[in-house]
């Protein structure tokens, strides 16, 4: 049960037809209360900060995003049930999920591993795929927005950050920065791929109890997100490889949420023609809410047998496990000396009646030669000059360079003339010329791809 704080004297006792029972938490968007309807069903009621819906434009944007969020299919998500933006205190009502947030669980009990980490990865990927199917971008996916319920992980608060137009940063964004994609800082081409980046960063946190780019200050984290490779020390095997792809700096090179889910379910990177999206989402939900095997961990290489003798047969220990449908889950091929037992099992789960389902991630094939990769790559037309120029104009490093050179120009002008106005004119002209020339040159050299086609 999440911590519920008694209501203070100044806090509301109701929101529309919902009676408020206590406070669940608070953030930059507003305060979340535990509520109850007339039938006794518990809900989460978020009282929205007035300034966030204070203008007609912001209210219209919020209403549009909330309406879209209400269309998200109920696959590993907490459903948005109702919203009243015209109330004296605007509020949003969503399904109440009893359980700890992923952030609290990891901080109090340590990193997740094996089956728990696999269920988390599949459940959250299923939720993001369902959210994207409805045309919604979460824009604030992070450990605090994942609830570990009794029936598996659930994603909350989808669409609300987007409704507030939170692509721009403010003083309340510090808790989110370690999970924000590079394009969020540039505010260029922000879309569903930023959720894929945040998903991978959240999986890295769940496995190591720390974000992959650290959390030691806004400037340091931003620099690492933009320039450095992520720290994925807590992840292993195929899940580590998948997370690394999802954390690509270029959002066009990341897989989609559907592709992530398909790989987690063992279907490879493409959507089978015979597998509808709803079926895939249901399969992901089943995997996240069932006792499933751990992700495969590569076993140490086995020496080749002597040709004159038959190869030795090493049987792994049979460990009793729960039965899913009519098939029992048991580890396969684990050496008897393995210290972790089922935590390092490579298994295939079969859930009746879906006999075609594969719950493991197959080990990745050896990387293809560069020529083969180039031949199989999907060609995309280059982005327009305007799009590339827009990216470069918002590049923080280019702006910093121009400011630095402009400052040198101002200093030089002052030394030469000892006149402040002349120095300021020289500095401003230097900044403008350097900024413009660098942006145009970088845009012409930019090889960014266009994904709109």
Active site residues: 140
Cis peptide before 353 (omega within 30 of 0): yes
* CA nearest to 98, candidates 150, 46, 141: 150
- CA 321 to chain CA mean position, Å: 31
Closest CA to 160 of 88, 257, 94: 94
Tokens of 62: 């919020």
- Distance CA(439)–CA(391), nearest Å, equals 9
Place of tokens 């470069």: 392
DSSP 318-337: P----EETTEE---BS--TT
In the structure, how many helices (H) and strands (E) does the chain have?
Answer: 14, 11
Locate 127 and state its tokens: 């939720």
Distance between CA 45 and CA 18 in Å, rounded? 8
The tokens for 453 are 């086609």
Pairing of strands 327-328, 91-95: unpaired
Both tokens assigned to 398: 């280019």
| b/e burial code for range 204-232 (CB count within 10 A of at least 16 → b) | bbbbbebbbbbeeeeeebbebbeeeebeb
CB neighbour class for 237 (10 Å; exposed up to 12, middle 13-18, buried from 19): middle
Give the sign of the dihedral formed by CA 364, CA 370, CA 375, CA 379. Answer: positive
Other CB atoms closer than 10 Å to residue 250's CB: what's the count? 13
DSSP assignment of 50-82, as one string?
GGGG-SHHHHHHHHHHHHHHTTS--SSB--EEE
Cα–Cα nearest to 394, from 179, 183, 165, 181 = 183
Instruction: State the number of CA atoms in the 13 A half-sphere of 231 facing the CB.
Output: 14
Q: Tell me the residue ranges of DSSP E strands in 96-177.
A: 99-101, 146-149, 152-155
Instruction: For CA atoms 337, 339, 341, 347, give the dihedral sign.
Output: negative
Q: Kindly calculate the radius of gyration of the chain based on its CA atoms and give it in whole angstroms.
A: 26
């Amino acid at each position: 049960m999440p911590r519920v704080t008694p209501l203070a004297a100044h806090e509301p006792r109701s929101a529309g037809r919902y009676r408020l029972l206590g406070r669940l938490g608070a953030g930059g968007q507003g305060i979340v209360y535990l509520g109850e309807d007339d039938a006794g069903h518990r809900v989460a009621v978020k009282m929205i900060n007035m300034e966030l819906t204070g203008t007609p434009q912001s209210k219209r944007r919020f209403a549009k995003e909330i309406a879209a969020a209400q269309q998200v299919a109920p696959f590993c998500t907490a459903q948005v049930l109702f919203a009243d933006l015209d109330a004296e205190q605007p509020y949003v009502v969503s399904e109440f999920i009893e359980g700890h947030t992923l952030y609290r669980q990891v901080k109090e009990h340590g990193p997740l591993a094996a089956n728990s980490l696999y269920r988390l990865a599949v459940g959250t990927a299923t939720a993001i795929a369902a959210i994207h199917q409805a045309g919604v971008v979460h824009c604030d996916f992070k450990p605090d927005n994942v609830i570990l319920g009794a029936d598996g992980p659930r994603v909350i608060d989808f669409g609300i950050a987007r409704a507030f137009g939170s692509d721009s940063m403010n003083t309340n964004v510090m808790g989110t920065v370690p999970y924000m994609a590079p394009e969020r800082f540039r505010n260029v081409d922000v879309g569903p791929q930023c959720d894929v980046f945040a998903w991978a960063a959240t999986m890295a946190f769940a496995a190591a109890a720390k974000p992959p780019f650290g959390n030691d200050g806004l400037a340091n984290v931003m620099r690492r997100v933009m320039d450095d490779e992520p720290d994925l020390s807590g992840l292993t095997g195929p899940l580590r490889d998948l997370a690394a792809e999802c954390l690509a700096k270029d959002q066009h090179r990341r897989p989609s949420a559907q592709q992530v889910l398909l790989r987690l379910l063992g279907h490879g990177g493409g959507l089978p023609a015979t597998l509808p999206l709803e079926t895939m989402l249901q399969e992901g939900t089943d995997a996240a809410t069932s006792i499933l095997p751990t992700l495969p961990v590569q076993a140490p290489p086995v020496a080749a047998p002597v040709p004159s003798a038959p190869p030795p047969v090493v049987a792994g220990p049979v460990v009793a496990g729960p039965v899913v449908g009519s098939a029992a889950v048991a580890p396969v091929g684990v050496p008897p000396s393995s210290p972790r037992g089922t935590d390092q099992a490579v298994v295939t789960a079969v859930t009746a009646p879906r006999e075609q389902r594969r719950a493991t991630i197959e080990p990745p094939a050896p990387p293809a030669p560069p020529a083969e990769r180039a031949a199989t790559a999907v060609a995309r037309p280059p982005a327009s000059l305007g799009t590339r120029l827009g990216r470069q104009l918002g590049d923080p490093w280019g702006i910093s360079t121009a400011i630095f050179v402009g400052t040198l120009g101002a200093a030089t002008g002052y030394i030469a003339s000892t006149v402040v106005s002349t120095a300021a004119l020289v500095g401003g002209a230097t900044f403008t010329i350097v900024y413009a020339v660098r942006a145009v040159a970088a845009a012409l050299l930019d090889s960014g791809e266009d994904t709109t086609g």
